[in-house]
């Protein structure tokens, strides 16, 4: 079968004929932030590298052409404009995994880094030292952190004109937390290791008012090399293997399954994200045989797959931040709601002309952290962010939204489960299956509520004078404002249990997972941590014989 690929990247036409019949030193599955980075590093070091992505273009530079009418005539897709990120929840277009997962996530060039807010926060050193195995401590990954900083923009000043917009929520939160409760006002990446009572402006990976990320940097370098190929709109079903050794991948092209081959000594790296990488392993006959082996066999999914490789950690430990929306009202607040199709004309013009104004950043205006210390000395991280507008029933011009996440140190562990169509998604126990998580997050909300009286802010969907137990009951109940998914999927194939220190799937010889699956839950949004993991993994994989 002859398959010819044609792809536009950065305005250049790149043709790699017969990619499907070539043999490759490395096949990377998934062009999310991790997949792009690891593929770039492998090809940079001389490995003939194929990067396969199930979705299509996202940013304009990657061939993405979805845009509202007000952007016509510009070389900007909806992905490029930070202020349009929320529109993905109303109109997903072709950017998400609607047909391949039972959850929300990005299935496009850039993965979820192309559809999320772009928050880019360095994890504190304690995350690596407290939760990761030897080989992944802070001293081990510090060089990887610096490599990420060298390629990805990191800024808490977003607008190209260096001004800050829609700041009433920021000022109100600062009065509440810094002036009232003694939080430190810090640069969140400049003082990344301090997450005890800190407050600051969110850091985003924007570049001159446009969304940045690995697709705009690492990928652009990769596509200049003649030993690299990106193949989009192509889904990988499973890893082809002989016993414990991968020999290639089974991909679906125009509805037909084909095998793309590895060269001798080659490696397959799964970077499909914390839901799809475990699914691909299961479809490859790798995982817990007690859960899906019979069902997959009976459905014919495992036809042609050799003996099952038992690895009970595949899909186990799935994490997402449990989220609570708290709607806050205040006389000093001026809400701002972004509009995909009909923005305020002056704001649209300001963005188009100079990449400035409200559309130069996503709607989060401030972020803050603290730890809850338990009686046994262990701790749970808690994070808050302030959004520019209200949510749900509370959308007056005087309303903003506080999102409270539980982060590192939470005890609930979910699983990646397959539905009746064998699409992967989160199990119910991902959130609050351990009651300690509800205790910890409720304590945090109770603590910050003690400063509300002097802040000028009033919570609308939960009383300001609620007891800790009342808060716990509320946040663990099912309402439009509680038990919310943040879609920060991670930790479903963790280092030390599912993959080894080199990210190699335990029980295999040359299959790796490199994405948020291998992370422990982090104190901050996982995007930066995922990029760190990719840099570190590339270094370790290149050192293998």
The token pair that represents 467 in the structure block: 């007891």
The total number of residues shown for the chain amounts to 545
What SS3 class is residue 316?
strand
3-state secondary structure at position 225 = coil
SS (H, E, C) 349-401: HHHHHHCCCHHHCCCEEEEEEEEEECCCCCEEEEEEEEECCCECCECCCCEEE
In the three-class reduction of DSSP (H, G, I as helix; E, B as strand; rest coil), residue 492 is classed as coil
Q: Give the 3-state secondary structure of 426-481.
A: ECHHHCCCCHHHHHHHHHHHHHHHCCCCCCCCEECCCCCCCCHHHHHHHHCCCCCC
Q: Which of 152, 164, 167 is nearest to 206 (CA)?
A: 152
Integer CA distances (angstroms), 363 to 28, 342, 477, in order: 33, 17, 27
The residue written with tokens 């909806």 in the block is 78
Residue 527 counted as an annotated binding residue: yes
| 4 assigned to a ligand binding site | no
236 annotated binding-site participant: yes
The DSSP element (H or E) to which 543 belongs, if any, is helix 526-543
Strands 364-373 and 198-200: antiparallel
Which amino acids are annotated as binding site, given as ranges? 236, 526-527
Which amino acids are annotated as binding site for FAD, given as ranges? 236, 526-527
């Amino acid at each position: 079968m002859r398959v010819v690929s044609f792809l536009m990247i950065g305005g250049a036409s790149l043709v790699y004929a017969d990619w499907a019949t070539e043999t490759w030193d490395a096949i990377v599955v998934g062009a999310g932030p991790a997949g792009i980075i690891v593929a770039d590093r492998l090809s940079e070091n001389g490995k003939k590298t194929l990067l396969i992505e199930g979705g299509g273009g996202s940013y304009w530079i990657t061939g993405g052409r979805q845009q509202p009418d007000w952007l016509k005539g510009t070389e900007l897709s909806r992905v490029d404009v930070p202020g349009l990120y929320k529109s993905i929840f109303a109109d997903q277009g072709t950017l998400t995994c609607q047909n391949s997962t039972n959850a929300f996530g990005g299935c496009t060039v850039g993965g979820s880094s192309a559809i999320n807010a772009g928050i880019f926060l360095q994890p504190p050193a304690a995350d690596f030292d407290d939760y990761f195995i030897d080989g992944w401590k802070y001293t081990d990954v510090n060089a990887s952190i610096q490599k990420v900083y060298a390629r990805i923009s990191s800024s808490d000043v977003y607008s190209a004109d260096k001004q800050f917009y829609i700041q009433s929520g920021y000022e109100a939160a600062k009065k509440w937390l810094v002036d009232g409760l003694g939080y430190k006002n810090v640069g969140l990446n400049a003082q990344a290791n301090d997450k005890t009572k800190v407050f600051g402006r969110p850091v985003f990976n924007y570049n001159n008012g446009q969304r940045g990320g690995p697709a705009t940097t690492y990928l652009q370098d990769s596509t200049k090399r003649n030993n690299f190929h990106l193949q989009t709109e192509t889904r990988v079903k499973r890893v082809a293997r002989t016993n414990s050794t991968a020999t290639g991948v089974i991909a679906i092209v125009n509805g037909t399954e084909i095998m793309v081959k590895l060269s001798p000594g080659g490696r397959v790296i799964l970077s499909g994200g914390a839901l799809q990488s475990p699914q691909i392993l299961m479809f490859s006959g790798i995982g817990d045989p007690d859960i899906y082996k019979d069902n997959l066999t009976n459905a014919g999914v495992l036809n042609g797959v050799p003996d099952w490789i038992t690895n009970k950690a595949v899909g186990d430990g799935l994490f997402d931040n449990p989220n609570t929306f708290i709607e806050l009202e205040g006389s000093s607040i001026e809400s701002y709601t972004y509009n995909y199709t009909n923005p305020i004309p002056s704001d649209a013009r300001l963005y188009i002309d100079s990449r400035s104004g409200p559309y130069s950043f996503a709607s989060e205006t401030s972020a803050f952290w603290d730890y809850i210390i338990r009686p046994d000395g262990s701790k749970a991280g808690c994070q808050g962010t302030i959004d520019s507008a209200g949510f749900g029933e509370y959308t007056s011009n005087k309303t903003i939204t506080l999102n409270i996440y539980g982060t590192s140190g939470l005890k609930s562990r979910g699983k990646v489960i397959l539905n009746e169509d064998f699409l992967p998604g989160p199990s119910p126990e991902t959130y609050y299956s351990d009651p300690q998580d509800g205790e910890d997050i409720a304590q945090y909300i109770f603590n910050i509520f003690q400063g509300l009286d002097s802040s000028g802010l009033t919570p609308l969907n939960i009383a300001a004078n609620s007891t800790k137990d009342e808060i716990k009951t509320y946040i663990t109940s099912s309402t439009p404002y509680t038990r919310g998914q943040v879609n920060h999927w991670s930790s479903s194939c963790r280092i030390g249990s599912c993959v080894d220190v080199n990210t190699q799937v335990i029980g295999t010889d040359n299959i790796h997972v490199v994405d948020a699956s291998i992370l422990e839950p982090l104190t901050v949004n996982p995007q930066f941590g995922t990029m760190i993991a990719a840099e570190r993994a590339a270094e370790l994989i290149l050192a293998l014989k």
